[in-house]
């Protein structure tokens, strides 16, 4: 199983391979955005993620990735 993660939105997903994990992450992001818009909480969601809407089509995220270390686990 592979885990995919979008730190800007704090959303994760998984899949049986890397491509499926990426597709599932994109779907989770799309669903999250759609649902927060439907509930009227999209602006609050962006604010909580540290994202600023610059124009109707552009957003800016002021985040810094301080480290990333891939790990491998062997399950028995």
Residue 71 lies in a domain: no
Cα distance from N-terminal residue to C-terminal residue, the chain: 14
- As a whole number of angstroms, the distance between CA 23 and CA 13 comes to 9
Residue 72 lies in a domain: no
Instruction: Give pLDDT, residue 55.
Output: 86
User: Rounded to two decimals, what is the model's pTM?
Assistant: 0.73
Instruction: Give pLDDT, residue 7.
Output: 84
**Total length of the chain:** 76
Residue 76 lies in a domain: no
Q: How far is CA 63 from CA 6, 9, 17, 74, 76, in A?
A: 12, 10, 28, 32, 37
pLDDT at 20 over 80: yes
Domain that holds residue 11: 2-61
Structural domains in the chain (count):
1
**Hey, how many other C-beta atoms are within 10 angstroms of the C-beta on 40?**
8
Residue 7 lies in a domain: yes
pLDDT at 61 over 80: no
pLDDT at 73 over 70: no
Residue 48 lies in a domain: yes
Instruction: Give pLDDT, residue 72.
Output: 66
- As a whole number of angstroms, the distance between CA 26 and CA 5 comes to 10
């Amino acid at each position: 199983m592979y885990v995919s993660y979008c730190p800007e939105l704090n959303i994760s997903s998984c899949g049986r391979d890397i491509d499926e994990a990426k597709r599932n992450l994109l779907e989770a992001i799309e669903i999250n955005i759609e649902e927060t818009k439907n509930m009227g909480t999209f602006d609050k969601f962006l604010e909580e993620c540290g994202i600023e809407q610059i124009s109707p089509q552009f957003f800016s995220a002021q985040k810094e990735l301080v480290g990333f270390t891939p790990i491998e686990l062997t399950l028995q």
